[in-house]
């Protein structure tokens, strides 16, 4: 039961908490400089919630507790914008920016360019936020620019939208315009959650933001990672306007609105163009989607003089980045064979300019992806290239399929060596079974062997590898160490000096480390981190090569799949012969410090259960791990020992049933003492 009247000290505390929470929101969202941890913020918020729950009369509309969402609406009410929400004209590239600047100068009668505010163009949804006497009263979508929809309840859930404004000289009526967007990381997490629970995923962050803002139930919006960034004003009453756009943005910031940290004022058109190019380079590293730069005449008087054409202000322009998606024709599909024999279908495309480069190839990944796309040769495809990532095929434009479109036929033998193909059940990949018989696999395995993280052979590029394999000078990686100067000098485009340099690089690569060597072998699923873990665990190549799956599973982060691949690799006589040949050619490494295998509990799996009186569970785990044991969560026949503290339950029973050794706490402490002396 809530109490009737709230005592004044609680009312004061609630107000103080609201002020503090508001302050920390500004530190986080506006200044990008949090002063307290998330946990501390949550504890302040919970204290306020607690007070408000006990005394609902202390709850205010601008309380940060009100961001959790309200009861669902039946529909959004229309909102007529007092000042229309504008759209922007577009420009593409530097030339069109020069045209824009020329038009501005001509209209204003200026010889030189005016100052311009440059900012990123967020790819989100424009909204208008209305404040009366500094308190958020309504938020609306842009709609058609004249009339939008009232999405106040949803916008209220965004922590980056201030519910009460801070600072001096806040106009009694203030409308702030800006963009709501979803950061990329939040978008990825949202989609991952949706996928896990079998719900529909969103195509891109913009759609996700739009879908989240159009929820009739604001409690759903409250769970979505949305952000707001301010860039302009709507209706303002009761205070004088600033003189410039930059000053307006600075004021917005002092009142508690996030504005873009990438904002700048350019004094010349060259600076504007340089900004646009710089922003394009920054784009791939940002945690939110932008689709260009927005350039605005800084002086607000100039903005008024310039006026509008068809709802777009003449004083502003959106300069767009090159489109990241384009349509083109699928001319053919070729199948490339990778290092481990996997066949990758590669789409040969009619060259198309997308994402700033000309794209003629895109990966189709595997047969499942081709089936999902339902792609045929001759189809029109939508291809996408964002940032530096490899081009992807997004979808087929079904309506444009020509009658003569041909199905894509997966080959029934390796296109390079004609060996049979295999598909492991449960895997999408189809593999060539040719191994080192297959030139493609040979080429790729040599390329991997020589790569930076492996034996790092400088100067052994693709063109040279191709010739070495095609002329049968190199069959396995061990043959690299038998190459002679005359053989290298006989290759196309190989000067004598380069042949010498390459020979020297190959010779240098003999001195390596065990982790590099293991990685270089190209064992399936063994990346650099796994190679390091294996080297650390086993200490020597011989110990690793002799390990069975059980022993491999003792290595931290090695699961059944990796263990099978490693054991399978060393069980294969051809692989063992290559390793022996490499060793015989002088490939060597300093002895690896053995960390684990020499430790007293190495190779043992222990399970902790029940309550230990003398040692917290995580410390017990650390002590065991320090002695070389692996600590697992469940008991199986492979468990070496179970430590049972007080009130041990089902794990203890299971250990007894399986005949696994059980130690009580006293015995365990004695064992630790025996092994570590403390
Ligand atoms: C975006 N989308 O980031 C404007 N915008 O200004 C910025 N949009 C805009 N400004 C006037 N930074 C109308 C739209």
> What are the chain's domains?
8-68 (1.10.287.610), 90-320 (3.30.470.30), 325-407 (2.40.50.140), 434-508 (1.10.150.20), 514-584 (1.10.150.20), 596-676 (3.40.50.10190)
pLDDT digits (tens, 9 = 90+) for 293-321: 999 999 999 999 999 887 789 999 999 98
pLDDT digits (tens, 9 = 90+) for 231-271: 999 999 998 889 999 999 999 999 999 999 999 999 999 99
Q: Which residues contact 490 (CB under 8 A, 6 or more apart)?
A: none
| DSSP line for 530-557 | HHHHHHHHH-SHHHHHH--HHHHTTSTT
Q: Which atom number of ligand 1 is nearest to the Cα of residue 124? A: 2
Average pLDDT (329-342) is: 94
Q: Which residues contact 315 (CB under 8 A, 6 or more apart)?
A: 104, 296, 297, 302, 303, 306
Residue 290, ligand 1, Cβ within 6 A: no
Nearest to 629 by CA among 607, 653, 611, 609: 607
Which pLDDT value is given to residue 42? 83
Substitution site in 231, 263, 290, 314 for ligand 1 pocket (most atoms within 8 Å of beta carbon): 231
Choose the catalytic residue: 121, 196, 200, 320.
Answer: 121
Whether the pLDDT of residue 592 is over 80: the answer is no
Residue 231, ligand 1, Cβ within 6 A: yes
CA-to-CA distance for 526 and 435, rounded, in angstroms?
17
Substitution site in 116, 122, 276 for ligand 1 pocket (most atoms within 8 Å of beta carbon): 122
Max mean pLDDT among 17-21, 165-169, 231-235 falls in 231-235
Residue 142, ligand 1, Cβ within 6 A: no
CB 198 within 8 A of CB 106: no
| Cα–ligand 1 centroid distance for 55 (angstroms) | 42
Q: Which atom number of ligand 1 is nearest to the Cα of residue 87? A: 13
Whether the pLDDT of residue 27 is over 90: the answer is no
Paired tokens of 339: 């290092």
| Cα–ligand 1 centroid distance for 171 (angstroms) | 22
CB 578 within 8 A of CB 500: no
H-type alpha helices, 549-659: 549-552, 560-571, 573-584, 617-626, 650-658
In this prediction, residue 1 has a pLDDT band, given cuts at 50, 70 and 90, of: very low
- Tokens 């430590």 identify what position? 643
Residue 121, ligand 1, Cβ within 6 A: yes
Whether the pLDDT of residue 52 is over 60: the answer is yes
Residue closest by Cα to atom 12 of ligand 1: 121
Please state which of the ranges 185-189, 618-622, 656-660 shows the lowest mean pLDDT: 618-622
Residue 316, ligand 1, Cβ within 6 A: yes
Whether the pLDDT of residue 2 is over 60: the answer is no
CA-to-CA distance for 396 and 390, rounded, in angstroms?
18
Residue closest by Cα to atom 11 of ligand 1: 86
Whether the pLDDT of residue 596 is over 60: the answer is no
Q: Are strands 605-609 and 421-423 parallel, antiparallel or unpaired?
A: unpaired
Q: Please list, residue by residue across 361-385, b when 16 or more beta carbons sit within 10 angstroms of its beta carbon and e when fewer do.
A: ebebbbbeebeebebbbbbbbebbb
Whether the pLDDT of residue 621 is over 80: the answer is yes
Residue 317, ligand 1, Cβ within 6 A: no
Paired tokens of 108: 């204003």
Q: From residue 417, give the alpha-carbon distance in Å to each of 423, 432, 439, 533.
A: 17, 8, 7, 35
Active site residue 296: no
CA-to-CA distance for 1 and 296, rounded, in angstroms?
56
Rounded percentage of the chain residues whose pLDDT exceeds 90: 62
Give the orientation angle of helix 439-449 with respect to helix 462-470, to 10 degrees: 140
Residue closest by Cα to atom 1 of ligand 1: 121
Q: Which atom number of ligand 1 is nearest to the Cα of residue 290? A: 3
Average pLDDT (161-172) is: 90
Residue 27, classed as helix, strand or coil, is helix
DSSP β-bridge partners for residue 609: 644
Q: Are strands 173-181 and 227-237 parallel, antiparallel or unpaired?
A: antiparallel
pLDDT digits (tens, 9 = 90+) for 516-558: 999 999 999 999 888 988 998 888 999 999 999 999 998 877 8
Which pLDDT value is given to residue 642? 93
Whether the pLDDT of residue 595 is over 70: the answer is no
Max mean pLDDT among 254-263, 620-629, 640-649 falls in 254-263
Residue 257, ligand 1, Cβ within 6 A: no
Whether the pLDDT of residue 431 is over 90: the answer is yes
Task: Provide the 10 A C-beta neighbour count for residue 505.
Answer: 16
Nearest to 482 by CA among 452, 503, 505: 503
Residue closest by Cα to atom 8 of ligand 1: 121
Max mean pLDDT among 64-68, 407-411, 614-618 falls in 407-411
Q: Please list, residue by residue across 510-534, b when 16 or more beta carbons sit within 10 angstroms of its beta carbon and e when fewer do.
A: eebbbbbbbbbbbbbebeeebbbbb
CA-to-CA distance for 67 and 71, rounded, in angstroms?
12
Q: Which atom number of ligand 1 is nearest to the Cα of residue 86? A: 13
Average pLDDT across the chain, whole number: 90
CB 359 within 8 A of CB 351: yes
Which has the higher per-residue pLDDT, 136 or 671?
136
| Cα–ligand 1 centroid distance for 485 (angstroms) | 63
Rounded percentage of the chain residues whose pLDDT exceeds 70: 97
Q: How far out from the chain centre does Cα 562 lie? A: 25
Expressed in angstroms, the distance from the first to the final Cα of the chain is 55
Strand order in the sheet with 661-664: 630-632, 605-609, 641-644, 661-664
pTM for the model: 0.55
Whether the pLDDT of residue 568 is over 70: the answer is yes
Which has the higher per-residue pLDDT, 202 or 491?
491
Residue 228, ligand 1, Cβ within 6 A: no
CA-to-CA distance for 117 and 374, rounded, in angstroms?
47
CB 289 within 8 A of CB 324: no
CB 562 within 8 A of CB 537: no
CA-to-CA distance for 666 and 673, rounded, in angstroms?
11
CB 128 within 8 A of CB 176: yes
Nearest to 192 by CA among 182, 201, 183: 201
Total residue count of the chain as it appears in this document: 678
Report how many helices (DSSP H) and strands (DSSP E) the chain contains, helices first.
Answer: 24, 26
Residue closest by Cα to atom 5 of ligand 1: 121
Substitution site in 318, 320, 321 for ligand 1 pocket (most atoms within 8 Å of beta carbon): 318
């Amino acid at each position: 039961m809530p109490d009737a009247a709230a005592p004044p000290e609680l009312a004061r505390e609630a107000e103080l908490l609201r002020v503090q929470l508001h302050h920390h929101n500004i530190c986080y969202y506006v200044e990008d400089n949090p002063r307290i941890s998330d946990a501390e913020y949550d504890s302040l918020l919970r204290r306020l919630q607690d007070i408000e729950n006990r005394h609902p009369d202390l709850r205010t509309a601008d309380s940060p507790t009100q961001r959790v969402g309200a009861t669902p609406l039946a529909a959004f009410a229309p909102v007529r914008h007092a000042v229309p929400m504008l759209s922007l004209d577009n420009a593409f590239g530097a030339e069109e920016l020069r045209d824009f600047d020329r038009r501005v100068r001509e209209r204003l009668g200026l010889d030189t360019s005016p100052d311009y505010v440059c900012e990123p163009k967020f790819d989100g949804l424009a909204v208008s936020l209305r404040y009366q006497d500094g308190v958020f009263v309504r938020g609306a979508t842009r709609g058609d620019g004249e009339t939008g929809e009232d999405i106040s309840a949803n916008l209220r859930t965004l922590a980056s939208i201030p519910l009460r404004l801070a600072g001096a000289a806040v106009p009694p009526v203030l409308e702030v315009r800006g963009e709501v967007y979803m950061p990329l990381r939040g978008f990825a997490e949202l989609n991952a959650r949706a996928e896990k629970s079998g719900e529909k995923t969103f195509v891109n962050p913009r759609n996700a933001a739009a879908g989240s803002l159009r929820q009739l139930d604001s409690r759903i919006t409250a769970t979505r990672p949305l952000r707001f960034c301010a860039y302009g004003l709507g209706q303002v009453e009761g205070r004088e306007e600033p003189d410039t756009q930059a000053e307006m943005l600075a004021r917005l910031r002092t009142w508690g609105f996030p504005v873009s940290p990438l904002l700048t004022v350019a004094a010349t058109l060259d600076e504007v163009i340089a900004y646009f190019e710089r922003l394009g380079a920054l784009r791939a590293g940002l945690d939110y989607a932008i689709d260009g730069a927005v350039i605005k005449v800084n002086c607000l008087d100039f903005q008024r003089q310039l006026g509008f054409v068809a709802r777009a202000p003449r004083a502003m322009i959106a300069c767009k980045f090159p489109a990241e998606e384009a349509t083109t024709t699928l001319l053919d599909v070729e199948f490339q064979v990778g290092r481990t024999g996997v066949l990758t279908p590669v789409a040969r495309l009619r060259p198309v300019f997308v994402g700033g480069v000309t794209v003629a190839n895109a990966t189709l990944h595997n047969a499942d992806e081709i089936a999902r796309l339902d792609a045929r040769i001759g189809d029109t495809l939508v291809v996408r290239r964002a940032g530096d990532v490899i081009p992807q095929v997004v979808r087929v434009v079904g309506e444009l399929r020509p009658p003569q479109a041909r199905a894509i036929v997966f080959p029934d033998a390796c296109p390079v060596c004609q060996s049979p193909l295999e598909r492991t059940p449960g895997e999408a990949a189809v593999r060539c079974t040719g191994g080192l018989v297959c030139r493609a696999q040979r080429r790729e395995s040599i390329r991997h062997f020589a790569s930076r993280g492996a034996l790092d052979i400088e100067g052994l590029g693709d063109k040279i590898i191709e010739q070495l394999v095609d002329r049968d000078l190199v069959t396995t990686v061990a043959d690299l160490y038998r190459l002679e100067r005359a053989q290298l000098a006989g290759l196309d485009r190989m000067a004598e000096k380069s042949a010498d340099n390459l020979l020297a690089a190959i010779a240098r690569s003999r001195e390596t480390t065990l982790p590099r060597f293991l990685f270089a072998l190209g064992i399936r699923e063994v990346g650099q981190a796994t190679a390091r873990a294996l080297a650390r665990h086993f200490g020597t190549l011989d110990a690793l090569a002799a390990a069975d799956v059980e022993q491999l599973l003792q290595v931290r982060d090695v699961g059944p799949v990796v263990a099978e691949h490693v054991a399978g690799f060393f069980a294969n006589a051809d692989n063992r012969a290559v390793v022996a040949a490499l060793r015989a050619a002088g490939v060597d490494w300093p002895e690896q410090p053995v960390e684990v295998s020499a430790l007293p509990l190495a190779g043992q799996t222990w399970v902790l259960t029940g309550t230990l009186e003398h040692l917290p569970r995580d410390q017990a785990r650390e002590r065991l791990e320090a002695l070389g044991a692996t600590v697992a969560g469940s008991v199986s026949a492979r468990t070496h020992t179970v430590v049972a503290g007080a009130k041990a339950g089902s794990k203890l029973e299971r250990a007894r049933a399986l005949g696994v050794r059980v130690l009580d706490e006293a015995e365990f402490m004695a064992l630790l003492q025996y092994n570590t002396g403390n």
